Amino acid sequence: MTADPRIAEITARIVERSKPTREAYLDRVSQAISKGVHRSVLSCGNLAHGFAVCSPAEKDALSGDSVPNLGIITAYNDMLSAHQPFETFPETIRTAAREAGGVAQVAGGVPAMCDGVTQGQPGMELSLFSRDLIAMSAAVGLSHNMFDAAVYLGVCDKIVPGLAMAALTFGHLPTIFIPAGPMTTGQGNDEKSQIRQLYAEGKVGRKELLESESKSYHGPGTCTFYGTANSNQMLMEMMGLHMPGSSFINPNTPLRDALTKEAVKRAFAITVNGNEFTPVGQMIDERSIVNGVVGLHATGGSTNHTMHLIAMARAGGIQLTWQDISDLSDIVPLLARVYPNGLADVNHFHAAGGMGYLIRQLLNAGYLHDDVRTVFGEGMEAYAIDVKLGENGTVKRETIGNGPSADPKVLTTHDKPFQPNGGLKILTGNIGKAVIKISAVKPERRVIEAPAVVFHDQQELQDAFKAGELNRDFIAVVRFQGPKSNGMPELHRLTPPLGVLQDRGYKVALVTDGRMSGASGKVPAAIHVTPEAKDGGPIAKIRDGDMLRLDAETGTLEALVPAAEFDARDVASADLSGNEFGMGRELFAPFRHHVGTADQGASVVFG
């Protein structure tokens, strides 16, 4: 199948823009491949350390180069419900490796913080920076150079993008990402949101709120709303880094285990010792990145990926921009309705047809590049499938046809989309550049013109709401929340009060140089404003009472102030000393100092 000419044109310009960096990257990958993994030429001391804890048979196998060794990078911990199932994966992988005639070793662990635990807390200021730290940590594990391929165990928020950055940095190694799946459906996400708003209004207490939250987040697996974690899983499958159909199978089920074992055997098949050598740095190219962006728009995915995808692409020498993402959004329709873009959760999405049905529809419309390499072989057609448990614990795949999904209210056809464009848009104007997620915002709320109310801290807005000072039309400007200021924390504590005010009939919106991520919902929010206030961006010139206009239809974000007056204003400053210490924040001062801008990926290593 051929790609839509508009998709092909955007891909071609990314290829052209990326030529210098991509060619240099591929040259480095080729050089690393030519050196190979030659354990037999390691010093005896090196090798003895590398397999000291292995069995005699494994030591004998690893003494030469003929038996492949699989490196496991794991993000297991008990803090993330989505990562807790990974506790048992290494032993499953080792067993599958032995059965396949190879060896598997845990190469290293990486930090993985739960944004749900740290939401609104000081620890959230480490969250975005943890992505680059995860990439560095994975590099430490793989630097032992004992491995012929790598598998990555990660699911959530910054973890998967960080692991992807590491994988592409070690682009000479074949790579497969192995997910753990979503938790089973608990309390509906819409009911959870309603309880949060009632708590914000003081109509229910902490006991009722905790009971509600515990019903929503109740067991192992990813949170079931369509935030960054589940957007990550969509991306890995859309980019061909997952085994087909593996993204949204619940943890601790026979099918989940079968997919993990299958991934191990496939990892060996794509090593230099196998028949289908597929180094990830050559496999992931500009078409793969575009396929990921297309999937993001078609599902109304996380705004975090307007930064993560840029950083991931740069790790592979590919120069993706916000303009590319915005232009693709204008082309790709929204085909999925998953909370906060609808009432369904990811389990309902999977039951309706899931990734296989989505990929079938995108291929039918020409929105995807089918002619890509994946860990499964050639072409995205192999991913337009339904996956089931076969005989003897094997994986069985069936091709998905062209009819309606099992639930057209959750997953629709490309010719009957929920909206004609994607879930993300880029805004530009005299305030700077920003990102907005519109898939959950009603059309009548996508254009807001109202006076600014300026805050330098999210708690200030909370206090003003509780004091009854915000019962009016306004656009909240929450600044000094960018990566240089305080690590760019997510600001989801703002959602309940702003949602309450919107429900009361007021026209409200948010403008911030901070983040809102995949849970961005019904309130229009211009986020990731660049340049940020700490960099002297125009957002730092806005004053209380300035008329602002957020227009998600035309893609503009303006302070309606005469240009000469606005340009002549001094930029505001803020006391950020309270964000520099405590909960480890002092250790991340170099990150705040060296981090790049949001539109360049907000990275300290690929700025």
CA-wise closest residue to 243 among 229, 228, 256, 225: 256
| Inter-residue contact 94 to 104 (CB < 8 Å) | yes
Q: Is 223 annotated as a binding residue?
A: yes
Tokens of residue 110, six digits = 């990486």
State the DSSP string of 403-423.
S--S-TTTB--TTS-SBSS-S
* 531: preceding bond cis by omega (within 30 degrees): yes
605: tokens are 């290593």
CB 102 within 8 A of CB 268: yes
Which two structure tokens, joined as six digits, stand for 48? 């003895």
Strand, helix or coil for residue 80: coil
Q: Is the peptide bond before 90 cis (omega within 30 degrees of 0)?
A: no
Which residues face 386 on adjacent strands? Answer: 398
Place of tokens 């419309």: 365
Q: How many CB atoms lie within 10 A of CB 490?
A: 27
SS3 386: strand
Task: Measure the CA–CA gap between 596 and 607, rounded to whole angstroms.
Answer: 5
Report whether 570 contacts 539 (CB < 8 A).
no
CA dist 79 and 81 (Å) reads: 6
Nearest to 588 by CA among 107, 74, 136: 136
54 is in an annotated binding site: no
From the annotation, which residues make up the binding site? 156, 223
From the annotation, which residues make up the binding site for [4Fe-4S] cluster? 156, 223
